[in-house]
Structure 1
Amino acid sequence: MKEALLKYDFTDNGLNIGDYIQSLAAKQFLNNQDPILINREALNEYDGEQVKLIMNGWFLMNGENFPPSEKITPLLVSHHINTSVHSHFRKEEVVSFYKKNEPVGCRDYFTLEFLESLGVKCYYTGCLTLTLSEKYSSKEKNDNIYFVDPRYKKARGLLDQLNRMYLLVTKFNTISEIRARYIRSNNKKSWRKTLDFYRSFSQIFDDEVLKKAIYVKHYIPANKFNNDAEIFAYGEELLRKYASAKYVVTSRIHCALPSLSLGTPTLYIDIPNDHNVSSCRLNGIKEFFHIIHTNGTKLSCDLLKNDEKFNLKSSFTNKEDFITVKEKIKKTVIDFIKN
């Protein structure tokens, strides 16, 4: 039987490279490194040869396009069903699909509890990106520090505006250097965003870290790529950068989980009371990370004591709880491909 791999649509925000990183995690286990590409949002339309498909990741942006075609033999592993499609996924034809292909390996406990409520047999697997060290790990580390889509809570009102003005006057050179790397544009909005970013992250990072950090976005404009091959290549490029980094700071789970797997010290930025569409993904994932906690505009990290900050010489090691989960999911995927 031929092998297939998930590809993805552009959204209003562009392309989420984290989706393709999830596919790279699946691709490393395939026998054929040039598999048939099937759009995650059109699995029901596939009408080619019978294929095996590792169905890891978020299902689905458009719930009406589920369940998949009968010509797809799925491995439901690292599977996340988002709260945004629960009403559709309770339909008889969708529940029947899951029962036909059970047990379902769930990426998070939210998905596991939802499927169990529908009478589907399932188990927890964590995320397949925890296995990316199989192909992309590096023994050589450099001094690069990556901030990948670092989210934070923005304050509003008069005090906020006064604080921005104070920072702009007292820290103008520092703010200018950070803006040139963080935003890479010159308009009023870029200054406001940089000032809000600096006000938040200067609480726990030295200025030298923020000035020398490399800033990466996981949402890419639609016009950056010509085809899927270029997108996959860019995903691999990012993985190799993360693999060699000194450490990574991110609010993207598909930067944090791969970095964890690759042996790169990782700080995950947690946004409490986030929208349920986002937060429902994290129960069973967030526990693996060292966390930067955000409480309003206040940031803190359990790795820091008193008034310490992360500096250019700071070092720390990751938790190792994920290793057992990684080995179990790896075996599941290898057995599916072999059989």
Structure 2
Amino acid sequence: MNYYYQIEGDKRNNIGDVLQGMVAKAFLPENALAADRESLALLDKEEPAFLIANGWYMHSFENFPPPENVHPLYVSIHVANSQLLAEKKVRDHFKAHAPIGCRDIKTLNIFLGWGIPAYYSSCLTTTTKARAAVNTSAEGEILLVDNVDHPVPAEVKEKLEALLGKPLVSISHDPPNPEGDFLNYTIKAEAHMNELLERYCKASMIVTTKIHCALPCLGMGVKVIMVHPVPDEGRLAPLAEFIHILSYDEVLGANTIQVPEVKTETFNKRRDFLTKLCRESTALGYSALREPTDPSFKRLKRKSELMAKIYRAGVVTAYRLGIARKKLKRVYGSGL
């Protein structure tokens, strides 16, 4: 059997996409292979295979879904464009491998609205393991981690430095070298991500705009402050349930700043569930939620199936009554 984890191999503009593959890789045998998330349909069609399929979906729909011999565990996924599910073959594929673990409520609602069993899973990067002894002192560098998507404005950085009493060392979440074929890029990017994780562990604190910097820091036990121009953005919900996210305005208006308290019980519950699910699914070679024997997995599957029926009926009824018709038509198209 082949074992796959997926890496975004097209845009190569955010090393957080690489990390999401690396945390899946950690649950797989040592001979696990990296698969290009944008080319899953091109995977080997003969050898039975298991894929931990998590992360951001996706830039192009042309080479999706994967072939039938590949058994995916869809967990912690974010659907950026609802048109991913426009084709029946894609919806049938997801139904065959349901319930689908969703990283955010928007994605969850898209699947449920199609009548596809799904549940909120949180993000797999919560399972990130420390790469070095974690610095619990106040000594050491404070890292400011952002990238071209969400650069921290100069005035916010200056205020953070004034509040924290020392300069911030800037680090980018852009891959350092996106060149080369997919395999070489993956090797270089994973090595760089491991170096970053080690540096995060050794730092006295991390300040970041990147969800896939903050979540792995929580997983590793590293002190982290998340700042963002729009802290209530739905995409950030998997982090917001664990810590308070500071807006730029909050930073600029603050007299003091502290590392936010972590909701440890909630965090551990999410992380432990994902760990158990990935381990048991890897041992089976397919999703442990497909034919669950574990009582908690059975309950989750039953609930997701019921929610899919209820939510789908609600979507169809709302459309027929003229409620939010334009929005529903945009999301579900001819499916209504």
**2:126 corresponds to 1:130:** yes
CA distance 1:91–1:224, change in 2 (3 Å)? closer
Paired with 1:223 and 1:307, the residues of 2 have a C-alpha distance of 38
Q: Which residue matches 2:187?
A: 229
1:287: Cα distance to partner?
A: 2.4
Aligned AA for 2:239?
A: I
1:300: Cα distance to partner?
A: 2.9
1:267: Cα distance to partner?
A: 1.2
Contact 1:204 1:309 (C-alpha < 8 Å) held by counterparts:
no
Q: 2:67 aligns with which of 53, 58, 69?
A: 69
TM-score normalised over the length of structure 2: 0.74
Gapped regions of structure 2 (runs ≥ 5): 285-336
**2:208 corresponds to 1:293:** no
Paired with 1:336 and 1:241, the residues of 2 have a C-alpha distance of 31
The list of structure 1 runs, each at least 4 consecutive aligned residues, that deviate by more than 6 angstroms after superposition, is 150-153
**2:109 corresponds to 1:113:** yes
Q: Which residue matches 1:318?
A: 262
Q: Which residue matches 2:93?
A: 97
1:270: Cα distance to partner?
A: 2.5
**2:306 corresponds to 1:308:** no
User: Structure 1 residues 285-294 or 239-248, which shifts more?
Assistant: 285-294
Q: 1:283 aligns with which of 220, 237, 248?
A: 237
Paired with 1:283 and 1:140, the residues of 2 have a C-alpha distance of 27
SS in 2 for 1:203: helix
Q: Which residue matches 2:315?
A: none
Q: Which residue matches 1:220?
A: 175
TM-score normalised over the length of structure 1: 0.73
Q: 1:262 aligns with which of 200, 208, 220?
A: 220
**2:334 corresponds to 1:338:** no
Q: Which residue matches 1:200?
A: 156
Paired with 1:152 and 1:117, the residues of 2 have a C-alpha distance of 30
Paired with 1:137 and 1:21, the residues of 2 have a C-alpha distance of 17
SS in 1 for 2:71: strand
Q: 1:42 aligns with which of 39, 42, 49?
A: 39
1:87: Cα distance to partner?
A: 1.9
Question: What is the Cα-based RMSD across aligned positions, in Å?
Answer: 2.8
Paired with 1:223 and 1:151, the residues of 2 have a C-alpha distance of 14
**2:274 corresponds to 1:329:** yes
CA distance 1:246–1:316, change in 2 (3 Å)? farther
SS in 2 for 1:75: strand
Identity of aligned residues (%): 29
1:204: Cα distance to partner?
A: 4.2
Gapped regions of structure 1 (runs ≥ 5): 154-192
